[in-house]
A and B are shown apart, each in its own frame.
Chain A
């Protein structure tokens, strides 16, 4: 099962830093939309990385069982 890691305010919102997910679509865009809805992340902006590489075209990316997906928001503090 792919592992999903959440960073910053997203980990707080989701209430966990990582989870393993079962997926019925291998399309990354669909998968991200499902997770957004599941965890009420609609109000947040973030980038998606798979296996530590940031992906700009989510719809063209096919997720594999061994993939690690990261949700990356911008941090603000300093």
Chain B
């Protein structure tokens, strides 16, 4: 590979190129942000890239997740992204993980890398990344989207602030792209900014966004940079309950109760024989209706209420809890798709929304 257009940059040179060749970057999430930044990191000459994502490619991903194609719908993103990059950059070392990052695998995976890029679409995973990167002593590049706005920052770099310094309490109302909506150029631009931060950190030039939060608004092209204060006390690495995510496909295949914590009447309707609805506001009073021993998979519209429900149930002694990655809309679509694929399934379905289904 000829990197001469990079190495003639006075700030870059052969030394930075070698640092990049020696670098090992883990990209968490191969969705909108991931598929924007991965090709640029690979092309620039990163030595080793890890890609972790348990999601499958869906038709609704294609308008912005440009490394995937129609024929790959239903395939694992981490595997397809990895194959895409390997076919173009033979010297690149790649490792793909086809599960979601969770409390069980985070430390073991992250210790193999020296920089992490957050390309996830949920907030609980960001707290997990923050704590795991603090424990491993590596920096991470944050990026996230709300409609036409994007946030970018660098955490845990040169003793700088962490995500928890910026957001000490977990947001109850933030919504993902699947609910809020997003255009391709927004994730593309924010992904590029993240890739650029990663290159600057590895090469050691320029001014990183460590200690700063950049908010870019693509509707107005305004950029605001806010200073983040590092808290005097070490950010809490106290053992708090963490939501474990499960893909929609795995949730459907499991024997778990599908617990809907949305309010009654919220659309879309979800129908399944293992479906139960207890709105979040009623959960504290009605949790006794749930079987403590049975696996529970919780969902709502975007994941925010699911995370709260999971925390509440964990506090009540439930240990077999997972939260669906995505929301009711994707789950309903997937169920309808499955029913279309296997018409016999509809005959087994029991659409009773009020009784707790038994294991049998």
Once the chains are docked, how many angstroms separate the CA of A5 from the CA of B225? 13
Tell me, in angstroms, the Cα distance from A74 to B153 when the chains sit together.
12
- Residue among B146, B167, B169, B220 making CB contact with A77, cutoff 8 Å: B146
Chain B residues with CB below 8 A from A76, complex form: 121-123, 144-146, 171, 174-176, 302-304
Interface flag for A43 (CB, 8 Å):
yes
Interface size counted on chain B using CB atoms at 8 A:
47
Q: In the bound complex, what is the Cα–Cα distance between A73 and B304 (angstroms)?
A: 14
- Alpha-carbon distance between A7 and B215 when the two chains are bound, in angstroms: 8
Docked CA distance A77–B123 (Å):
9
List which B224-250 residues lie within 8 A (CB) of chain A: 224-229, 231
Identify the closest chain B residue to A45 (Cβ).
B171
Q: Which residues B90-125 have CB closer than 8 A to chain A? A: 118-123
Residue of B nearest to A5 (CB): B224
Mask, B1-40, CB within 8 Å of A = 1, is 0000000000000000000000000000101111000000
Of the candidates B34, B120, B173, B187, the one whose C-beta lies within 8 Å of that of A9 is: B173
On chain A, which size bracket covers the interface? 20 to 34
B149-171 residues at the A interface, CB under 8 angstroms = 149-151, 166-167, 169-171
**In the assembled complex, which residues on chain A have CB atoms less than 8 Å from the CB atom of B147?**
8, 12
Check if B66 is an interface residue, CB within 8 A of chain A.
no
Q: Which residues of A contact B31 (CB under 8 A)?
A: 78
Take A54-B166, A70-B226 as given contacts and tell me if A75 and B146 are in contact as well, using a CB distance cutoff of 8 Å: yes
Query: Do A72 and B176 touch across chains, with their CB atoms under 8 A apart?
Result: no
Tell whether B50 is near chain A: CB-to-CB under 8 Å.
Answer: no
Contacting pair B167 A75 (CB below 8 A): no
- A78 and B227 form a contact (CB under 8 A): no
Closest A residue to B232 using CB positions: A56
How far is A7 from B148 in the complex, measured between Cα atoms in Å?
Answer: 11
Answer yes or no: A38 CB below 8 A from chain B CBs: no
Interface flag for B258 (CB, 8 Å): no
Asked if B174 contacts A53 (CB within 8 A), the reply is no
Task: Pick the contact of A52: B173, B176, B227, B304 (CB < 8 A).
Answer: B227
Decide yes or no: A53 and B167 within 8 Å by CB, A9-B146, A77-B145, A78-B33 being known contacts. no
Q: Which residues A42-64 have CB closer than 8 A to chain B?
A: 43-47, 49, 52-54, 56
A77→B64 CA distance, assembly (Å): 13
Is B139 positioned at the interface, with any CB of A under 8 Å from its CB?
no
With a CB–CB cut-off of 8 A, which chain B residues contact A73? 146, 171, 173-174
A8 contacts which chain B residues (CB < 8 A)? 146-147, 149, 174
| Interfacial residues of chain B within 163-212, with CB under 8 A of chain A in the complex | 166-167, 169-177, 180, 182, 187
B143 part of interface (Cβ distance < 8 Å): yes
Taking a contact as CB atoms under 8 Å apart, the answer to whether B226 and A72 are in contact is: yes
- The residues of A that contact B225 with a CB separation of less than 8 Å are 52
Docked complex Cα distance between A72 and B122 (Å): 17
A12 nearest in chain B by CB position: B147
Determine the chain B residues whose CB is within 8 A of the CB of A78 once the complex forms: 29, 31-34, 118-121, 143-145, 176-177, 187
The closest CB in chain A to the CB of B28 belongs to: A78
Contact A53-B180, Cβ < 8 Å, known A76-B122, A78-B120, A78-B121: no
> Nearest-CB distance from A7 to chain B (Å)?
6
**B296 within 8 Å of A by Cβ?**
no
Top 8 closest pairs, chain A to chain B, by CB:
A77-B177, A77-B145, A76-B174, A75-B144, A8-B146, A78-B121, A75-B146, A78-B33
Jot down 6 A-B pairs with beta carbons below 8 A, ordered by A. Answer: A9-B146, A75-B145, A78-B31, A78-B120, A78-B145, A78-B177
